[in-house]
Structure 1
Amino acid sequence: MADSFRCHNKVVLVGYSTFEVKDKCGTPSYEEDIGYVKVDNEYVNVKQYIYDFGRGKLLKTLVFHNGKLVQINDGPRT
């Protein structure tokens, strides 16, 4: 899990909004609305974006709670 990553020579940080991420990285390769999930005795709206930056690069999976980036995960190389 990481706190940031580079996207088109721009840095994306945990805490950014879905708008800020799309502004820096463009439309994700895949976007999923997980729905409301209970986290620490509160329900949050969870979304997941997956970015595929091309052959030989790691997939990036971004998890948002209520529109704020909370987690960045590396996936397999494409």
Structure 2
Amino acid sequence: MHRLAIALLLIGGAGTAQAAGIRCDGGLVDRGDLQIEVLDACGEPDFRDDWAAGSLPAGVVAPDVTQWTYNFGRGNLLYILRFRNGRVIGIDNDGYGFDADNTSEDCGPTDIVPGMTKYRLLSACGSPAQRDSRVVLRSSRHFRYGVAEQIRRETWIYNFGSRRLLRKVILENGRVVRIDTDNRGFD
């Protein structure tokens, strides 16, 4: 039996909802918990995504971020936990989970939509034919005071065959933000 999760408190958000904590078979997980405590309570995540800081301008220090996804199956919420320095800094839910064994291998261009998480994209369409990743800084309204947001931007290329155009999928911090077309695909 896969782990059972129950949201304790949900706060509305765009695309995902922030959860105050989750309950797994092994106990409660909340912000501030260590990765080892999460592993003890919930077991291994279904998906791990490490966001290395990469190369940034001189003097800019950006911590590594790790994101774990727990898919508790159909009828239960799918949770995304973000870690910085080995501690939970955020817990979001990404709608309902799904049976990972029953994912479709018949992914088409219209199955990729903005807002989709990296885990859902990989589960639906598999690995891309090509990928590129970089860390960029996006200025905020406080940029003149030295505040900028670190963004992990990935470009994934999917080839759906010679009858379709290649799809260039742009992900930021593990979520699809844009889908472009490119040259004709190939078999």
TM-score by length of 2: 0.38
Q: How many pairs does the alignment contain?
A: 76
Which residue type is aligned with residue 74 of structure 1? N
What does the per-residue CA deviation read over 1:34-77, in whole Å, with 9 as the maximum and x for residues that have no partner?
11288xx7421100000011111110000001111000001121
User: Relative contact order, CA 8 A, sep 6+: which one is greater?
Assistant: 1
Q: Which has the larger share of strand?
A: 1
Identity of matched residues, % = 34
Please say if 1:75 is aligned against 2:104: no
Q: How does 1:25-44 map to 2 (within 5 A)?
A: 25-36=42-53, 42-44=61-63
Deviating runs (4+, > 4 A) in structure 1?
none
Unpaired runs of 5+ residues, structure 1, are none
Unpaired runs of 5+ residues, structure 2, are 1-17, 98-187
RMSD, matched Cα: 1.8
1:3 Cα deviation from its structure 2 partner: 2.3
Q: Residue 79 of structure 2: SS of its match in structure 1?
A: strand
Which residue type is aligned with residue 65 of structure 1? R
1:2 Cα deviation from its structure 2 partner: 2.1
Q: How does 1:40-55 map to 2 (within 5 A)?
A: 42-55=61-74
Inter-partner Cα distance in structure 1 for 2:96 and 2:51: 24
Q: Residue 75 of structure 2: SS of its match in structure 1?
A: coil
1:9 Cα deviation from its structure 2 partner: 5.5
